[in-house]
Structure 1
Amino acid sequence: MTTPTTALGTEVLDVPAHDGARPVMSHRPDVLHDGEGKPLARLGSAGRLAQFRMAEEAGRVARRLRSVDDTAWFGLLRRAADGLTARLDSGDLDLWLRALSSVSGLPHRRAARGLRTAALDLARMEEILAAQSPDGTVAAYRTGGHDPRWSWRPAGRSVLVRQPGNFPTINVEWLQALAARRPVLLSTGAADPFTPVLLTEELYAAGLPEHGVSVVHGDAPALRRLADQVLWPGEDVPADLPPGKVKTYHFGRSRAVIGDRSPGNAWQRLAREAFAGCGRLCTNISSLVVLGDPKEAAEALANEFALRPVLPLDDPRASVPAFPDRAVRDALALRIEREVAAGAVDVTAATTGVPLRVDLDGHAFLRPTVLLVDPGSPLFGTELPFPFTAVAHVPRSKAVAACAGSLIVSVVGEADGLVHALAEEPGVDKVFAGDRFDRGYHPCDPHEGHLADFLFKKKAVLPGTSA
């Protein structure tokens, strides 16, 4: 396990890279600082030669991961999850959580909850993987299935996963890849190098075969070239990645359609979805498509937003993230202010009396915001990394087109025919309605498709009688 060191009386975490199970620090590590300029963590680095070795060893261990029987394999993953949960419960990770909060801007309690959820997802990987296999069993990941016409085989020996740092739960992406017995080459994001390392440590402590996972902090161009497949967050894919090699993930623009006779608790539930993951998840409700009165809908949602104010990051009730880089906060605020100057209405400004830009305890925040806009506004359908929802009136005849490009569309209230029309829209990934309109993310649902459909492919394999 990595341990904190002391520098000038301040505890500083050593957060190594991992060449397989071997932690790697360096003589001149990158140093992460808090908002006051004090060092928080030192990141280990792995150069090009180390990355070449990681990729080579990952390719070699792939067959070994597939040889472990199912009981032992998923038992290993559960032990790793239990180890991480035990460290959270004991307070052993308090310094890690403080560092994560300071670097990412997440409230302390939310950071801990995100890490705990990542452990829970790891513990249930057998269920998650079974939901994705062609025959509903986890055995197919080892055997290729039992259909006489085809065999379900890995589409590569290793996968590079570029890990964003928005919230700890997004680590479920690479954990699924590993659970599918694919060696993972992990490239961490600047806002959270901590969660991937903690998970990797627990996996090796639980008995993960050597080089099942390797970790590099920051960009890893050598690994991009050498990995057989790549999982990349968002839409800005590096130019050196050919389309067939990469699958993008985690770019949501999720929306809700507000129809007639919405349930009485709809606004509370919508606000909860907007604040999930402190507003930094791909499943957050970024826009409301309102078939009726948009002002009434915006005010109802703003009243719920007002119940979740900006609080110090160490307050257990805090759900609004800070922006460690004040310039990023100010640039986002300027985008919103320009829309207001162009005619949009900041409904939460009137509801709360709180300015958009908030400075508290030395941290920069944006007040949770509901913005009443024209559907042609550039902020309608845009994800912003804090609780933010744009609201616009859209005629029923144009509602499906207004939802194109959404990960989730939640249909709230009565909207005759729209559920099926939305499900037919190629640019919509999930449609939830009725009592389940706020289902959000569930790891057993297809989420931007099933990850296993990228990692595996069906091959015609017809061995002869002597094979």
Structure 2
Amino acid sequence: MTPDSTPAQTPHPAQTPHPAQTPDPAQTPHPAQTPLQLDALGPRGAFRARNRQSVTDVTGTPVAELSLVPPPFTSRTMSALRRAESAPPEERIRRIVEAADLFATGTVAGLSVPEYCLLVSRVGGVPLTEVTSAVDRIAERLRDIGSGIEQARPTGAVTDWRDPLTRTGRAVHTRRGDVFAVHAAGNHPGTHSLWPEALALGFRVAVRPSRREPFTPHRLITALRTAGFGNDEITLLPTDHAGADAVLRGADLGMVYGGEDVVRKYGADPTVLLQGPGRSKILLTADVDWHDHLDTLVDSVAGRGGTGCVNTTAILIEGDPAPLCEALAERFSALPSLPPDHPKAVLPVQPAAGARAIAAYVERRAAGARPWLGADTVADELGDGSAVLRPAVHQLDRADAPQLGAELPFPCVWVAPWRPADGLAPLRDSLVLTALTDREPLLDQLLAEPTIANLYVGDHPTHWMRPGLPHDGYLADFLMRTKTVVRD
């Protein structure tokens, strides 16, 4: 313990799991008046620092205090991770599967599932029903993590040099390091379903949580520790911005979430995997009637709260965009403006000042575009210090309009005309592209385009995902390599 700390209580162990339910705000208490103490999780257990940051909900009400670790604590933690030894592969998988059940159904660190979901919703502004659904999806992916990393392994490679196949020569799948650092995102709980794959592969992991929403990584790491992972195998290191780089420097490899500023800062570093803007898109060609797919178009833009990198930000249509814009605007206008913890909420909520700033940015960025739902309706204030971020729909006049690259943390879509002569250029740099077309030569081109990470053909929303399938490539593509081994 350093002079910066005060003793912390050991987190409550997970109790007997109970069936998960969608929390009812009328029955679930709001965060207590006394802020929850959210400790760092270091190699010796919970750590409560004297330097603590207030975590507020979307109305500005404090709900928690997050301990920010000092630089010496970060340094000692990263050294402890490096000295630690990982359990055998089968045991790692077993622990993660057990942690999935604890995370999704148990009381972890003193919080039941409804209490945890309510905190995440009110702090992050994500609709409560979506938080509850995300918990189930995270657990599903963790329960399937063994088959997921198997699908990422080259079919010609084995996992252990002792495998009999190495006697005649075989590729062995091996780690590119021992310690993995994560600068986590706070826009949606689902982002935390990815990094546990590093634990499954034998890395020791340090997670620097987003100070916007630290509850999900704290809960998940506590569940992983309760399931058997050592304190020196998985840690939670909340830091200020100055300490964030120290977490990365202490690791062999890292993964960082963020926007263009993050891309500029880490884009040239081969040891850092960027999870930047998704810029997911939809292409509609003239041989397909968009009316038949309107539900998918609406869901792609605004589904799951509309905050993710896999939500659609641009639609390119062969033909006149105006009728489609009109239909989208009509559908989005019918969505209710509600607090995030309301059972019928579907749109994200932010503090009113932040929402107004986003609306002002949309107004500047949309210069020259035709607003069907414009910046003037984006920030819908609820009167309690928060504001719903309502959908925006803008029509552009060409496929190379600069607005097509704008990604914002709410349902905001730019619709532009596309012609075959425009080629693939407007469709590049897409995490997901849903192609509503029957033109197979075009699909061949889209699949071959290296800057399109995922291609969905037909009636599939851009936020569609399944366990075992790559997000932006398999994480194992970055964490692992193959070595030839031949032995006597």
* Conserved 8 A contact 1:141-1:180: no
1:362-390 CA deviation, whole Å, 9 max, x = no partner?
A: 21222112211233433213211001111
Please state if 1:178 is matched with 2:199: yes
1:145-193 CA deviation, whole Å, 9 max, x = no partner?
A: 9562432211001011110101000002211211222111111112211
Q: 1:435 to 1:101 in 2, by over 3 A?
A: closer
Q: Distance in 2 between matches of 1:167 and 1:286?
A: 17
Please state if 1:356 is matched with 2:375: no
Question: Equivalent residue for 1:343?
Answer: 368
Single out whichever of 309-318 and 284-293 deviates more from structure 2: 309-318
Q: Distance in 2 between matches of 1:428 and 1:144?
A: 37
Please state if 1:76 is matched with 2:102: no
Please state how far the C-alpha of 1:116 moved relative to its aligned partner: 2.9
Question: Equivalent residue for 2:16?
Answer: none
Identify the match of residue 56 of structure 1 among 57, 60, 79. 79
Q: 1:393 to 1:88 in 2, by over 3 A?
A: farther
Q: 1:186 to 1:344 in 2, by over 3 A?
A: same
Structure 1 counterpart SS, 2:106: helix
Single out whichever of 23-32 and 192-201 deviates more from structure 2: 23-32
Identify the match of residue 299 of structure 2 among 250, 254, 272. 272
Please state how far the C-alpha of 1:339 moved relative to its aligned partner: 4.9
Structure 2 counterpart SS, 1:25: strand
1:193-234 CA deviation, whole Å, 9 max, x = no partner?
A: 110000011111111133221111144322211101111124
Structure 2 counterpart SS, 1:244: coil
* Conserved 8 A contact 1:274-1:284: yes
Q: Distance in 1 between matches of 2:485 and 2:277?
A: 36
Q: Distance in 2 between matches of 1:122 and 1:419?
A: 32
* Conserved 8 A contact 2:296-2:459: no
Identify the match of residue 272 of structure 2 among 246, 263, 272. 246
Paired residue total:
450
Q: Distance in 2 between matches of 1:143 and 1:407?
A: 38
Q: 1:78 to 1:416 in 2, by over 3 A?
A: closer
Please state how far the C-alpha of 1:261 moved relative to its aligned partner: 2.3
Single out whichever of 417-426 and 196-205 deviates more from structure 2: 417-426
Please state how far the C-alpha of 1:270 moved relative to its aligned partner: 1.8
Q: Residue type of the partner of 1:104?
A: G
* Conserved 8 A contact 2:156-2:171: no
The ranges of structure 1 where at least 4 consecutive aligned residues each deviate by more than 4 angstroms after the TM superposition are 88-91, 141-147, 237-242, 435-439
Question: Equivalent residue for 2:23?
Answer: none
Runs of at least 5 residues in structure 1 that lack an aligned partner in the other structure: none
Q: Residue type of the partner of 2:122?
A: S
Please state how far the C-alpha of 1:439 moved relative to its aligned partner: 6.7
Please state how far the C-alpha of 1:107 moved relative to its aligned partner: 2.1
* Conserved 8 A contact 1:329-1:366: yes
Q: Distance in 2 between matches of 1:429 and 1:313?
A: 31
1:369-413 CA deviation, whole Å, 9 max, x = no partner?
A: 221123343321321100111100021221411101111111114
Please state if 1:111 is matched with 2:134: no
1:76-134 CA deviation, whole Å, 9 max, x = no partner?
A: 21111111222379982434333322321222222222233222221111121111112
Q: Distance in 2 between matches of 1:143 and 1:279?
A: 48
Q: 1:197 to 1:382 in 2, by over 3 A?
A: same
Please state if 1:96 is matched with 2:116: yes
Identify the match of residue 35 of structure 2 among 12, 15, 25. 12
Please state how far the C-alpha of 1:250 moved relative to its aligned partner: 4.5
Please state how far the C-alpha of 1:265 moved relative to its aligned partner: 4.1
Please state how far the C-alpha of 1:443 moved relative to its aligned partner: 3.5
Q: 1:143 to 1:307 in 2, by over 3 A?
A: farther
Please state how far the C-alpha of 1:30 moved relative to its aligned partner: 1.6
Single out whichever of 179-188 and 300-309 deviates more from structure 2: 300-309
Question: Equivalent residue for 1:125?
Answer: 145
Single out whichever of 378-387 and 166-175 deviates more from structure 2: 378-387
Q: Residue type of the partner of 1:85?
A: A
Question: Equivalent residue for 1:167?
Answer: 188
Please state how far the C-alpha of 1:43 moved relative to its aligned partner: 0.9
Q: What does 1:171-320 correspond to in 2, within 5 Å?
A: 171-218=192-239, 219=241, 220-234=244-258, 235=260, 236-237=262-263, 239=265, 243-259=269-285, 260-262=287-289, 264-320=291-347
Please state how far the C-alpha of 1:440 moved relative to its aligned partner: 2.6
Q: Distance in 1 between matches of 2:289 and 2:355?
A: 34
Question: Equivalent residue for 1:85?
Answer: 104
Q: Distance in 2 between matches of 1:258 and 1:252?
A: 19
Q: Residue type of the partner of 1:343?
A: G
Q: 1:209 to 1:161 in 2, by over 3 A?
A: same
Q: Residue type of the partner of 2:421?
A: S
Single out whichever of 169-178 and 21-30 deviates more from structure 2: 21-30
Q: Residue type of the partner of 1:230?
A: G
Q: Distance in 1 between matches of 2:365 and 2:101?
A: 47
Q: Distance in 2 between matches of 1:264 and 1:290?
A: 12
Q: Residue type of the partner of 2:272?
A: V
* Conserved 8 A contact 2:310-2:463: no
Runs of at least 5 residues in structure 2 that lack an aligned partner in the other structure: 1-9, 13-30
* Conserved 8 A contact 2:78-2:247: yes
Question: Equivalent residue for 1:158?
Answer: 179
* Conserved 8 A contact 1:255-1:288: yes
Q: Residue type of the partner of 1:202?
A: A
TM-score, normalised relative to structure 1: 0.88
Please state how far the C-alpha of 1:2 moved relative to its aligned partner: 3.8
Please state if 1:460 is matched with 2:480: no
Single out whichever of 313-322 and 190-199 deviates more from structure 2: 313-322
Q: Distance in 2 between matches of 1:460 and 1:291?
A: 50
Please state if 1:389 is matched with 2:407: no
Question: Equivalent residue for 2:360?
Answer: 334
Identify the match of residue 426 of structure 2 among 381, 402, 405. 402
- The alignment's C-alpha RMSD in Å is 2.9
Identify the match of residue 465 of structure 2 among 441, 449, 462. 441
Q: 1:420 to 1:210 in 2, by over 3 A?
A: same
